[in-house]
Amino acid sequence: MTGLSLPMRIEKYAALALVLALLGWCMLPKERAPGKDAGGSPKKTDATAKYSIRVAIGQTYMPGTVPMGIGKEIRGMADVVAAFEQRFPDTHIELITVPFDREYLVTQLSSGSAPDIVNVNVEDVWTDVQKGWYLALDPWLERPNPFIREKGDPARPGYEKWWDMFKYQAISRGKAAPDQLMYCLSYDMIETGIFYNKDLFRKAGVEVPNTWEKMLDGMAKLEKSGVIPMTIFMDCFNDWGTDLIFDQLYNSLLPGIDLLQDPLREPYLQGYLDWDEICFLFQKGFFTQRDARYRDVFRIMKELRRYCGPPIVDPTLLINDFVKQRAAMHWNTSQLVYRLMADKDLGFEWGVFYLPTIGKQTSQYASANPMCVIGGSANQLEVTNTAFADTGDPKTSKRLERVMAFLQFMCVPEQYTRVVNEYPCFISNIVGVDSLPVLQPFVEILEKPYTTTKWIFTFDLRFGDIQRRLLELYLNGAMDLDTFMRWQEDNLRTAIDNLMLRKPMDMAKMQARWDELAPARAEMEDLPSGL
Amino acid sequence: MVFDAKNRMSHRTRFVLGIYALLAVPLGFLTVFVYLPFFWGFISSLYEFEIGAPARFVGLENYREFLFKDPVTWPSFLNMAFLAAWGVSVRLTVPLGVAKLIHTLGNERARHAYRILFLAPIVVPGVAIQLIWGIMVFSDRGLANEFLRLIGLGHLTPSWLTDPSSALIAIACIGFPWVGGFEVLIYYAGLSAIPESVNEAARLEGCAGLKKFFLIDVPMILGQMRLILILSIIGGVQTFENVLILTRGGPGFATTVPGLWMYYNAFSFQRMGYACAIGVTLFVLIFTLTALNLRYFKGAETLED
């Protein structure tokens, strides 16, 4: 039937078996180096750990990585994990790296397989909180931190309430979601500043500016001296630039247009315009083509953009321009401090200043207030639904107890300083832990008032995406201001219509307040035409 | 005799039933994996919903928003129309010329070799082709700019994929010279199927060269042209992966197409219902264009009738 003799058949099947065995061997998972996790913490096996908790801590503190590619590997967080695991032998903390993509997170969260703790901007979480994917941390924050309590000193922050441990109370509490609940732990703080090359400034005869106009004059001089005056990541115009200049031009209008006060967030977000206020004001003609003030926001931004070199999208190249002295200034966050400090071949003296106030010379709408800030909470840690997957109920979950215990443990000053002060990057948010001295300029900048609104967090993700794309075109000269304003109005209208369909808002209350504030507005000039 | 007839009928019936049963299997899978998702997509387009959140019925609001309010809709349709029209033009013409040249070769071995040479590029994955073009051709120091510099037009070198005035053209140029695909094979098959009697008659009438090509060959392969036309239109309307890989729809919305906008709305903005509405709109568009094509573009067999 087959025509094959027995030995030939055996040979054939033996060869097949060999190939299958080889394939199987190739598909076996690689064995990890024994005894070590990322960053070098002692590894427990699943057999010895009752609770295996996955923490996507973020790139800044990921053990085993080299910040900015310079110097030694960091290991502060690994030490904290090791100390925690020693304290809780039944728990294994796995520090993992996950993609930043929202697509990834959403699929993981919807399937209940996200890391127990994630690190994302809490504003991006707000759209998902009603889905039960994230845990409100308020009950834990209102209770003592057990690791402080056990030390027996009632004077120590955290003895009564975990909340008391946080240095920047207003900023941290200001991260409450619109449903008034707190879904994140503001682990540390970040602020932006303008890094400048003191040598190039001296050479061009430029001083640190104290007004916007002087800054532009200085940029013109720097340009004449043959360097790029300032580099900035294009997306930052959309994020930081829009909010800062918007605040400069609208701050003086707040007494007439700030319709709702949020008692919880007001101490920090004074006069903050929330999404519902923006919707209401849009219907009154604000932020449209009829609003000359809104138009001026983008005109001023274009003036600044003129001095910011070619449209490079790779942040590393922009930093290189500054480091190689091709650019005199670079607008970035405190994260850059380490890069500059650790570079032994830098070859120039650098400093940090903050954007100065926009004056009437630049815009007739300028409020002349000091420039606000747009930083605040840096690493924002959220607890996901995976943390209480054992029972499905946060009240009864033992696993969640461990997850919360780890977060509380991370905040104990002795542990916290090992992480946050391992290298200069972010500002300490725990009472009793000072920031590294080199970050002092950013600590001072952080004291300034917060912006009037965060445009890219106000509406849906689509609004932010459209604004970013169009602003880039406009700033790079591929679109004129009129066309940009038309797009922006259409974009805003679609976002507002969509938001109003999805979320109820108390228009009557805002109308009543609007009417009450009419006398204040009567004294204001240049409100949108037809108001 | 009666018994035999009954037996034969029964055998025939069993055979037919067997065919139906065999067809039912792929049809079942097709229903589960294609028709039901399509139906589900249509139903979903009437809802506002995100993954993990309860859905809310909004009727035709998603369609209204897409067609009349979304500022990205019409620019994306214009981009798609340009890419589709360009794709149709080049896929209908260039491979036809190549197929005719191969068909004209006298040596069968040479014809075979050329067929393989022109078909071989289809084994290269599309993503790899996009990346090759993005990195090797359209980068600042890529082939396109180096060529311009070589001929003394260095001052005209654009940032092909990041300049709004050149990005869409750059996307359209991908695949140049548009001859490495199965279109050549389809045209070649069409040309080979022209009866020898027709060719002989043409020769006797003194019809040769371009005259024969346009008056005899082209009308005889209209069926193949219609197939390629339909596939090109469908491909043009559905296109988005090349744009996603190379420009992500930018700069601005200079290269955004409706398919890409659907993808972003579904997976980046979490607006599943809205994305379904875009998908259904594209389906209706493809269906309409295909129906019009079938109605007005006559094949060779129709001409013969």
The residues of B whose Cβ lies within 8 A of any Cβ of A are 48, 50-53, 56, 58, 61, 65, 69-72, 162-165, 249-253, 264-265, 267-271
Are B269 and A461 an interchain contact pair (Cβ–Cβ within 8 Å)?
yes
* Domain A38-190+377-445 classification at class level: alpha beta
* Domain A192-376+448-522 classification at class level: alpha beta
Looking at residue B6, its pLDDT comes to 59
The residues of A whose Cβ lies within 8 A of any Cβ of B are 102-103, 106-107, 109-110, 127-128, 130-133, 311, 313, 460-462, 465-466, 469-470, 472-473, 476, 478-479, 487, 490-491, 493-494, 497-498, 501-502
Domain co-membership, B139 together with B203: yes
- Which residues in chain B touch residue A469, judged by CB atoms under 8 angstroms apart? 249-253
Domain co-membership, B34 together with B109: no
Domain co-membership, B17 together with B91: no
- Which residues in chain A touch residue B268, judged by CB atoms under 8 angstroms apart? 102-103, 461, 465
Selected residue of B48, B49, B51 to mutate for chain A interface (largest A Cβ count, 10 A): B51
Give the count of beta carbons closer than 10 Å to the beta carbon of residue A243. Answer: 22
Task: Confirm whether B47 is domain-assigned.
Answer: no
Q: pTM of the entire structure?
A: 0.80
**Is 50 exceeded by the pLDDT of residue A444?**
yes
**Is 50 exceeded by the pLDDT of residue A107?**
yes
Looking at residue A35, its pLDDT comes to 40
Looking at residue A313, its pLDDT comes to 73
- Which residues in chain A touch residue B161, judged by CB atoms under 8 angstroms apart? none
- Which residues in chain B touch residue A472, judged by CB atoms under 8 angstroms apart? 250-252
The distance of A297 to chain B (nearest Cα, Å) reads 20
Token reading at A7: 């030995």
pLDDT band at A36 (very low <50, low <70, confident <90, very high): very low
Are B268 and A103 an interchain contact pair (Cβ–Cβ within 8 Å)?
yes
**A38-190+377-445 against A192-376+448-522: fold identical:** yes
Looking at residue B95, its pLDDT comes to 93
Number of domains chain B contains: 2
pLDDT band at A32 (very low <50, low <70, confident <90, very high): very low
* Mean pLDDT (whole number) for A284-304: 95
Window from A20-29, A62-71, B96-105 with minimum mean pLDDT: A20-29
Looking at residue B295, its pLDDT comes to 80
Residue B25 belongs to domain spanning? 2-39
Q: Tell me which residue in A130, A311, A494 faces B65 most closely, judged by beta carbons.
A: A494
Task: Confirm whether B10 is domain-assigned.
Answer: yes
Domain co-membership, B271 together with B125: yes
Between strands A327-333 and A228-231, the pairing is: parallel
- Which residues in chain B touch residue A128, judged by CB atoms under 8 angstroms apart? 50, 52-53
Looking at residue A459, its pLDDT comes to 81
**Is 70 exceeded by the pLDDT of residue A315?**
yes
The mean pLDDT value of chain B amounts to: 88
Task: Confirm whether B50 is domain-assigned.
Answer: no
The answer to whether residues A227 and A322 touch, using CB atoms and an 8 Å cutoff, is no
The distance of A456 to chain B (nearest Cα, Å) reads 13
Looking at residue A461, its pLDDT comes to 83
Nearest CA in chain A to B261: A462
**Is 60 exceeded by the pLDDT of residue A103?**
yes
Looking at residue A264, its pLDDT comes to 65
Selected residue of A106, A386, A489, A503 to mutate for chain B interface (largest B Cβ count, 10 A): A106
| Tens digit of each residue's pLDDT (9 = 90 or more) over B2-30 | 556 556 678 888 889 999 999 999 999 99
Looking at residue A469, its pLDDT comes to 92
Q: Tell me which residue in A110, A460, A469 faces B52 most closely, judged by beta carbons.
A: A110
Orientation angle between helical segments A292-305 and A481-502, nearest 10 degrees: 120
- Domain extents in chain A: 38-190+377-445, 192-376+448-522
Q: Tell me which residue in A109, A494, A501 faces B71 most closely, judged by beta carbons.
A: A494
Looking at residue B194, its pLDDT comes to 92
User: Residue A28 phi/psi, 5° resolution?
Assistant: -65, 140
| Chain position carrying tokens 């004209």 | B104
The distance of B107 to chain A (nearest Cα, Å) reads 42
Selected residue of A237, A289, A461 to mutate for chain B interface (largest B Cβ count, 10 A): A461
| Tens digit of each residue's pLDDT (9 = 90 or more) over B29-76 | 999 999 999 999 999 999 988 877 788 899 999 999 999 989 899 999
**Is 60 exceeded by the pLDDT of residue A205?**
yes
Give the count of beta carbons closer than 10 Å to the beta carbon of residue B290. Answer: 16
Looking at residue A180, its pLDDT comes to 82
- A142's enclosing H/E stretch is none
- Which residues in chain B touch residue A491, judged by CB atoms under 8 angstroms apart? 71
- Which residues in chain B touch residue A130, judged by CB atoms under 8 angstroms apart? 53
Task: Confirm whether B54 is domain-assigned.
Answer: no
Are A497 and B65 an interchain contact pair (Cβ–Cβ within 8 Å)?
yes
Task: Confirm whether B189 is domain-assigned.
Answer: yes
pLDDT band at A30 (very low <50, low <70, confident <90, very high): low
Q: Tell me which residue in A469, A497, A502 faces B48 most closely, judged by beta carbons.
A: A502
Domain co-membership, B35 together with B130: no
Q: Which class for B54: exposed (0-12), middle (13-18), buried (19 or more C-beta within 10 A)? A: exposed
Domain co-membership, B25 together with B125: no
Q: Tell me which residue in A131, A487, A493 faces B53 most closely, judged by beta carbons.
A: A131
* Mean pLDDT (whole number) for A345-363: 95
**Is 60 exceeded by the pLDDT of residue B143?**
yes
| Tens digit of each residue's pLDDT (9 = 90 or more) over B204-263 | 888 888 899 999 999 999 999 989 999 999 989 988 888 999 999 989 999 999 999 999
Q: Got the DSSP string for A37-80?
A: -GGGPBPPPTTT-SEEEEE---STT-TT--GGG-SSPP-HHHHH
* Mean pLDDT (whole number) for A343-364: 94
* Mean pLDDT (whole number) for A263-269: 67
Looking at residue A121, its pLDDT comes to 87
Token reading at A50: 């009752």
Q: Which residue type is seen at A23?
A: L
The distance of B293 to chain A (nearest Cα, Å) reads 35
Nearest CA in chain A to B269: A461
Are B252 and A490 an interchain contact pair (Cβ–Cβ within 8 Å)?
no
Task: Confirm whether B53 is domain-assigned.
Answer: no
The rounded percent of chain A whose pLDDT value lies above 70 is 93
Task: Confirm whether B49 is domain-assigned.
Answer: no
The answer to whether residues A408 and A146 touch, using CB atoms and an 8 Å cutoff, is yes
Nearest CA in chain B to A478: B164
Q: Where are the alpha helices (H) located in A65-168, listed in sequence order?
A: 76-87, 102-110, 122-126, 138-141, 146-149
Token reading at A64: 């085993």
Looking at residue A367, its pLDDT comes to 92
Window from A264-278, A293-307, A350-364 with minimum mean pLDDT: A264-278
Token reading at A185: 């732990």
Window from A85-94, A296-305, B288-297 with minimum mean pLDDT: B288-297
**Is 70 exceeded by the pLDDT of residue A529?**
no
Q: Tell me which residue in A466, A473, A494 faces B69 most closely, judged by beta carbons.
A: A494
Token reading at A344: 């032994």
Selected residue of B57, B58, B61, B72 to mutate for chain A interface (largest A Cβ count, 10 A): B72
CA B197 to chain centre: 34
The distance of B67 to chain A (nearest Cα, Å) reads 12
Looking at residue A46, its pLDDT comes to 54
- Of the CA atoms within 13 Å of residue A478, those in its CB half-sphere come to 19
Complex ipTM: 0.76
Q: How far is the C-alpha of A519 from the C-alpha of A348, rounded, in Å?
A: 55
Q: Tell me which residue in B162, B164, B269 faces A462 most closely, judged by beta carbons.
A: B269
User: Residue A27 phi/psi, 5° resolution?
Assistant: -85, -5
Q: What is the CATH number of the domain that holds B235?
A: 1.10.3720.10
Angstrom distances, CA of residue B169 to CA of A2, A4, B142, B304: 61, 62, 16, 40
Q: How far is the C-alpha of A333 from the C-alpha of A315, rounded, in Å?
A: 12
| Tens digit of each residue's pLDDT (9 = 90 or more) over A140-169 | 999 999 999 999 999 999 999 999 999 998
**Is 80 exceeded by the pLDDT of residue A65?**
yes
Q: How many residue pairs bridge chain A and chain B with CB atoms within 8 Å of each other?
A: 77
Nearest CA in chain B to A502: B48
Window from A160-169, A490-499, A508-517 with minimum mean pLDDT: A490-499
Q: How far is the C-alpha of A445 from the C-alpha of A194, rounded, in Å?
A: 11
The mean pLDDT value of chain A amounts to: 89
* Mean pLDDT (whole number) for A209-236: 95
Cα–Cα nearest to A110, from B156, B267, B58: B267
Domain co-membership, B11 together with B157: no
Domain co-membership, B170 together with B271: yes
The answer to whether residues A275 and A191 touch, using CB atoms and an 8 Å cutoff, is no
Looking at residue B243, its pLDDT comes to 92
Q: How far is the C-alpha of A300 from the C-alpha of A123, rounded, in Å?
A: 27
The answer to whether residues A274 and A262 touch, using CB atoms and an 8 Å cutoff, is yes
**Is 80 exceeded by the pLDDT of residue A394?**
yes
Window from A233-237, B232-236, B301-305 with minimum mean pLDDT: B301-305
pLDDT band at A3 (very low <50, low <70, confident <90, very high): low
* Mean pLDDT (whole number) for A108-128: 87
**Is 70 exceeded by the pLDDT of residue B1?**
no
**Is 80 exceeded by the pLDDT of residue B302?**
no
- Which residues in chain B touch residue A493, judged by CB atoms under 8 angstroms apart? 69
Looking at residue B158, its pLDDT comes to 78
| Tens digit of each residue's pLDDT (9 = 90 or more) over B84-134 | 999 999 999 999 999 999 999 988 899 999 998 988 888 888 888 888 888
The distance of A186 to chain B (nearest Cα, Å) reads 25
The rounded percent of chain A whose pLDDT value lies above 90 is 65
Domain co-membership, B168 together with B246: yes
